[in-house]
Amino acid sequence: MNALEARSIQFYYDKTQIIDNISMSLSRGEFLGIIGPNGAGKSTMLRLLCGILRPKQGEIQLFGKNLHEQSQRTIAQNIAFVPQETHFALNFSVEDVVLMGRYPYKRPFQPEDQKDHTAVEHAMNAANVEQFRNRPINSLSSGERQRVVIARALAQAPRILLLDEPTSHLDLHHQHTIMELLERLNNEGISIAVVHHDLNLASLYCKNLILIHAGKIYAEGKPAGLLNKKMVREVYGIEVTILSHPEKNVPQIFL
């Protein structure tokens, strides 16, 4: 049984087709990269997979059960979503932000208990943000903030983590730390799907890739087979050089 499985998904706004008959799955323990050019439908697909958007046609299954027959709360106990960039209109402390990850487990008026605090400690520890615990969230750099958002996602104790371009505004150091963190979480058993537009980063870290182009799946498979000159020419319309990474032995693209 797959962690997530999408069958013949159609999605459109008004008459603009965004997702055109996509079937895909995220198997257990997978580290999947969803790649493709701007406007291909990658982010939309991610939102469909976690139930923020509802497909117009098709079905999504979460561990074998129809996603849309489950409450949003139950979904949030299984899937955590990390948006591209979070704007914090209110300046909560880092610990408060991470604690919000416990929302799906709380009833109205039910105070946080030991279990919540244990989960929060564990999450802050995993994402390496404990040292910021009392800092106001807006005093952190964007890379540090992204780690806090991931910690909040981990506090949900999810089995699946979906991330939308988690490194897109970050410098080299933070790109590295975030991707290493995701790799570690994946090794601990969390299934991960991450939308990337940085093909080299996706190639370095993802076990498998799905390439979405114009709302359809163009190709899927291991980075080594998928990233080639012909694909880049057809999808991105440019000529590139592709070499193998000297240490990790995965393809890297040079402009």
Are the C-beta atoms of residues 158 and 122 closer than 8 Å to each other? no
**Least Å distance between CB 78 and another protein?**
10
Listed residue (174, 165, 188, 172) closest to 83, CA to CA: 165
Residue 69 to residue 240: CA distance in whole angstroms? 46
**Least Å distance between CB 161 and another protein?**
11
Pattern 70-109, another protein, x by CB under 8 A: -xxxxxxx-xxx-x--xxxxxxx---xx--xx-xx-x-xx
For another protein, give the closer residue by CB, 33 or 158.
158
How far apart, in Å, do the first and last CA atoms of the chain sit?
40
For another protein, give the closer residue by CB, 13 or 241.
13
For another protein, give the closer residue by CB, 15 or 173.
15
Q: Which amino acid belongs to residue 231?
A: M
User: Residue holding tokens 């979070």?
Assistant: 86
For another protein, give the closer residue by CB, 89 or 255.
89
Q: Is residue 15 near another protein by the rule CB under 8 A?
A: no
User: Residue holding tokens 């359809």?
Assistant: 216
Q: How far is CA 132 from CA 13, 63, 179, 191, in A?
A: 41, 35, 20, 27
**Least Å distance between CB 216 and another protein?**
22
For another protein, give the closer residue by CB, 100 or 224.
100
Q: Is residue 215 near another protein by the rule CB under 8 A?
A: no
Pattern 150-179, another protein, x by CB under 8 A: ------x-----------------------
Pattern 31-50, another protein, x by CB under 8 A: ----------------x--x
Pattern 110-149, another protein, x by CB under 8 A: ----------------------------------------
For another protein, give the closer residue by CB, 63 or 88.
88
* Own/partner long-range contacts of 203-208 (Cβ < 8 Å, ≥24 apart): 203/227, 203/245, 203/250, 203/251, 203/252, 203/253, 204/179, 204/245, 204/248, 204/250, 204/252, 205/31, 205/33, 205/179, 206/31, 206/32, 206/33, 207/30, 207/31, 207/32, 208/30, 208/31, 208/32, 208/33
Q: Which amino acid belongs to residue 53?
A: L
**Sign of the dihedral defined by the CA atoms of residues 156, 161, 165, 168, in that order:** positive
**Least Å distance between CB 73 and another protein?**
4
For another protein, give the closer residue by CB, 92 or 236.
92
Which residues contact another protein by CB under 8 A? 13-14, 47, 50-52, 71-77, 79-81, 83, 86-92, 96-97, 100-101, 103-104, 106, 108-109, 156
